[in-house]
């Protein structure tokens, strides 16, 4: 049984031409040629979603640029002068074609197959974002000029884009694949509008699971089964606390134990959220497949997407536990300092009461002598008082 191949929602074809007069002129003429847009029965109402043309359904997509949605005749002449200047200065012309699978375009609300209408305004805005992303990555955003047009003369709606430098800054025609990938991704992401889905995934990971762990101590009675593994990891952490981060290489031997601790916590408290996360990730992968297709060239865009998000969950959960271990270590250090301070005070008292023997003997000797002298003085004083009393009695005639 053969597996059905998914047709990509978006395809980007890119090439460049050198400053040949015919190549430049033919391209500028082509992207604004009325018959190029009306060939093969393109419906005259394809443009009615574009607000500026609601009153004139016979109009078709014309050239648009960064600044303008539809160039008038004077703007077209000025644009051709810019392209001719670029040609005279031996600029490269980069030619890109973005092709859409119409059912995919319709699925995302940009095309209506029943009325044969397309949201040109949004497609033009998305094109601008995509081209600007490519120019920025190629460092052409300060020097390049581009124009584009939406075409309907084939089975699939597509956009032709031409880019030149009036004052060339590069002789390199071949652009980096990452720049072209970023350009295509910008188109897909803006058309899919997966912001809500991405937020849902991030909230499940960061708020509902990891955020919950940050507020939950591993030393609570209800978490008592986590404590042995928690302390095992803590006791094997490196001395340098700056390395107490999940991604540090020094923690690699402990990573499986940290993951086990995270897994146990998720199984106990977040089974429902985890199942919901897996379902949402599967849906997201399916959407990416429909956008990019299943060919080997584009598999990297979604092949590891689900696993990467699961890895992110375990990384964040692991760091939450490691953060708790840092706090636990801080408290342990404080307790040790308090105990050491208390022990020092007791030692000082002990030392004062337990001096070396020869010192103690000398102290005892001095004390004894002092007491003996005091006793002798007291005896002398008492005898003296007795003699005085006896003399008084003799004098009174007793």
Q: What mean pLDDT do residues 83-109 have?
A: 89
Looking at the fold, whether 142 and 202 belong to one and the same domain comes out as: no
Q: What mean pLDDT do residues 113-141 have?
A: 91
User: Which of these ranges, 78-82, 357-361, 363-367, has the smallest mean pLDDT?
Assistant: 357-361
Looking at the fold, whether 37 and 74 belong to one and the same domain comes out as: yes
Among 192, 219, 236, the domain-final residue is 192
Position 112 in a domain: yes
Looking at the fold, whether 239 and 178 belong to one and the same domain comes out as: no
Among 192, 207, 235, the domain-final residue is 192
Number of domains in the chain: 2
User: What's the CATH code of the domain at 179?
Assistant: 3.30.930
Looking at the fold, whether 17 and 164 belong to one and the same domain comes out as: yes
Residue from 285, 279, 283 nearest 301 by CA: 285
C-alpha to C-alpha distance for 186 and 191, rounded to whole angstroms: 8
Position 334 in a domain: yes
11 phi and psi angles, rounded to 5 deg:
-130, 135
Segment 254-265, tens digit of pLDDT: 999 999 999 999
Q: What mean pLDDT do residues 138-160 have?
A: 87
User: Which of these ranges, 31-45, 105-119, 268-282, 317-331, has the smallest mean pLDDT?
Assistant: 31-45
Q: What mean pLDDT do residues 47-64 have?
A: 38
Confidence of residue 192 (pLDDT cuts 50, 70, 90): confident
Position 358 in a domain: no
C-alpha to C-alpha distance for 211 and 116, rounded to whole angstroms: 48
Confidence of residue 35 (pLDDT cuts 50, 70, 90): very low
Among 192, 209, 235, the domain-final residue is 192
- DSSP codes of every residue in 251-292: GHHHHHHHHHHHHHHHHHH-HHHHHHHHHHHHHHHHHHHHHH
Instruction: Give the side-chain half-sphere CA count within 13 A for 345.
Output: 5
Q: What mean pLDDT do residues 66-76 have?
A: 87
Looking at the fold, whether 203 and 273 belong to one and the same domain comes out as: yes
Percent of the chain predicted with pLDDT > 90: 43
User: Is it the case that residue 2 has pLDDT exceeding 60?
Assistant: no
CA distances from 47 to 143, 163, 291 (A): 32, 24, 24
Percent of the chain predicted with pLDDT > 70: 73
Position 371 in a domain: no
Domain that holds residue 328: 195-350
Looking at the fold, whether 333 and 212 belong to one and the same domain comes out as: yes
- DSSP codes of every residue in 95-158: EEEEEE-HHHHHHTTSEETTTTEE-HHHHHHHHHHHHHHHHHHTT-TTT-EEEEEEE-SSSS-E
Looking at the fold, whether 155 and 49 belong to one and the same domain comes out as: yes
Looking at the fold, whether 203 and 255 belong to one and the same domain comes out as: yes
User: Is it the case that residue 246 has pLDDT exceeding 90?
Assistant: yes
Partners of 15 in the beta sheet? 95
Q: What mean pLDDT do residues 111-135 have?
A: 90
Position 395 in a domain: no
Q: What mean pLDDT do residues 342-371 have?
A: 55
At 44 the pLDDT is 32
Looking at the fold, whether 277 and 210 belong to one and the same domain comes out as: yes
At 152 the pLDDT is 78
User: Which of these ranges, 221-235, 292-306, 313-327, has the smallest mean pLDDT?
Assistant: 292-306
- Give the mean pLDDT of the chain: 80
User: Is it the case that residue 3 has pLDDT exceeding 80?
Assistant: no
Looking at the fold, whether 28 and 119 belong to one and the same domain comes out as: yes
At 310 the pLDDT is 96
CB neighbours of residue 369 within 10 Å:
10
Task: State pTM to two decimals.
Answer: 0.63
At 118 the pLDDT is 84
Looking at the fold, whether 246 and 187 belong to one and the same domain comes out as: no
Position 91 in a domain: yes
Position 396 in a domain: no
CB 150 within 8 A of CB 159: yes
Position 188 in a domain: yes
Looking at the fold, whether 248 and 180 belong to one and the same domain comes out as: no
């Amino acid at each position: 049984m053969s597996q059905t191949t998914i047709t990509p929602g978006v395809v980007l074809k890119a090439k460049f031409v050198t400053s040949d007069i015919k190549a430049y002129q033919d391209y500028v003429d082509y992207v604004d040629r009325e018959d190029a847009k009306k060939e093969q029965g393109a419906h005259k109402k394809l443009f009615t979603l574009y607000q500026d043309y609601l009153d004139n359904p016979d109009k078709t997509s014309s050239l648009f640029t960064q600044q303008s949605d539809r160039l008038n005749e004077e703007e077209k002449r000025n644009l051709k002068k810019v392209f001719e200047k670029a040609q005279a200065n031996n600029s490269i012309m980069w030619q890109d074609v973005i092709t859409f699978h119409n059912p995919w375009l319709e699925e995302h609300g940009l095309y209506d197959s029943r009325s044969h209408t397309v949201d040109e305004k949004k497609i033009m805005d998305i094109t601008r974002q995509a081209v600007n992303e490519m120019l920025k990555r190629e460092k052409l955003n300060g020097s390049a000029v581009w124009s584009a047009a939406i075409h309907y003369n084939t089975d699939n709606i597509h956009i032709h884009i031409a880019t030149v430098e009036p004052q060339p800054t590069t002789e390199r025609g071949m652009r980096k694949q990452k720049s072209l990938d970023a350009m295509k991704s910008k188109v897909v992401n803006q058309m899919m509008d997966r912001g809500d889905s991405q937020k849902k995934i991030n909230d499940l990971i960061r708020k509902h699971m990891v955020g919950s762990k940050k507020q939950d101590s591993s030393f609570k009675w209800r978490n008592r089964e986590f404590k042995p593994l928690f302390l095992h990891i803590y006791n094997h952490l490196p001395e340098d606390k700056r390395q107490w981060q999940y991604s540090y290489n020094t923690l690699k031997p402990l990573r499986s134990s940290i993951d086990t601790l995270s897994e146990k916590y998720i199984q106990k408290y977040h089974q429902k959220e985890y199942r919901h996360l897996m379902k949402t990730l599967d849906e997201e992968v399916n959407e990416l497949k429909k956008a990019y297709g299943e060919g080997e060239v584009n598999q990297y865009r979604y092949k590891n997407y689900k696993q990467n998000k699961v890895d992110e969950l375990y990384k964040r959960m692991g760091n939450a536990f490691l953060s708790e271990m840092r706090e636990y270590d801080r408290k342990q250090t404080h307790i040790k300092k308090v105990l050491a301070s208390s022990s020092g005070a007791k030692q000082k008292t002990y030392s004062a009461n337990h001096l070396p023997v020869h010192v103690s003997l000398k102290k005892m000797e001095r004390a004894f002598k002092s007491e003996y002298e005091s006793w002798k003085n007291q005896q002398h004083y008492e005898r003296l008082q007795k003699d005085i009393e006896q003399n008084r009695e003799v004098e009174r005639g007793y």
